[in-house]
Amino acid sequence: MTILEEALKVRIENNGLLTTATKVPLLNKHDLSVLYTPGVAEPCKVIKNDKDLSFEYTARGNMVGIITDGTRVLGLGDIGPEAAYPVMEGKALLFKTFADVDALPICLDTKDPEKIIETVKLLQPTFAGINLEDLSSPKCYDIEDRLKEICDIPVFHDDQHGTAIALCSAVIGALRFVKKDLADAKIIVNGCGAAGSAIGRLLVEMGAKNIIMVDKFGALYDGIDVPLDRIQAHLQKVTNKNMEKGTLADVVKGADVLVGVSAPNVFTKEIIASMNTKAIVFGMANPVPETTYEAAIAAGALVAGTGRSDAPNQVNNVTVFPGVFRGALDVRAKAITEEMKIAAVMAIADLIEEKDLRADYVVPDAFDPRVAPAVAAAVAKTAIETGVA
């Protein structure tokens, strides 16, 4: 049986991946009186006087809403909310398995950003955090930004920021291994969609000085005469200070780091071979990356990685979002800030000591039990220190 066949079999046999489980037993009339009527009125009255106590007296304090409209499902595109449901179930399973966070899929039958924003706002009393998932760009930027403005709980678009945190932690580990500095390294990010743009912005926040963003129109530079969304318009001003122009093949020459969040098989042997010595290549397109691990090494890269679990240096969001939300929920953070994201990057990267770094081990394993607790602790600590908790 193939993995794909097994993916169908396990879901049809179990009627999906999720169920409702109770935390306390209901065995007799006494239990019924305590857990439902008349006892249930007491926490209701307590919360009526202080709504914040809903985090303490109900499941809300450990509950995340996973919100999608199914317009940008990884590798599948706009497939609709019903078809996106298995991804949301899988996400909920990962939340629970890796960080004991309860999560509920919410698949919305609308593509209208205003309706999505309003719906999530109205659902806010149910959750302690919101994970946006598989929303198409550029509307995903507006939805997240508006919700961050109007919600009192953290809102996090994992396709953007989870990918950015995971990738940046891998870049930090790889640069440490090759003995190069983030501030000085020439970094090419191929792909200016939601994930690529978030990676570019986070690298800038972390102090990278020489970043070039590349998309279908070529290298992004200040004043380029092509239609840009507002995030790309921001990136054109804060990256590519040397105003390099042209295609990926033109600007990648001499680069130290090449990151792909674009399309399958676009990192050719010639492109990788034109990079600087001790080159670092991460191909993140999924399920087929810009280059395989083996092809990147054969072309001259010293360090390579992909999103795949069947090759070294897998860069995976599962190292990020469970721990980020665990930390945010533990201190009841009102937002997930840039400082908290950077803390998550460094928490992941710091799990591998420099003496243990290898060309095929610059990223912690997705099942490394240290990852989620380390990320949660770093996020919580930063939230407290910056006044977000």
Residues taking part in catalysis: 36, 91
Instruction: Please state, in angstroms and rounded to a whole number, the distance separating the CA atoms of residues 188 and 287.
Output: 21
**Nearest by Cα to 160 from 219, 201, 109, 214:** 201
Instruction: Please state, in angstroms and rounded to a whole number, the distance separating the CA atoms of residues 210 and 204.
Output: 9
φ, ψ of residue 104 to 5 degrees: the values are: -125, 120
Q: Are strands 210-215 and 218-219 parallel, antiparallel or unpaired?
A: antiparallel
Instruction: Please state, in angstroms and rounded to a whole number, the distance separating the CA atoms of residues 305 and 289.
Output: 10
Instruction: Please state, in angstroms and rounded to a whole number, the distance separating the CA atoms of residues 213 and 95.
Output: 32
Check residue 304 and give left, alpha or beta (phi > 0: left; psi -120 to 50: alpha).
Answer: beta
Per DSSP, 361 falls in state B
Amino acid (1-letter code) at residue 189:
V
φ, ψ of residue 110 to 5 degrees: the values are: -160, 150
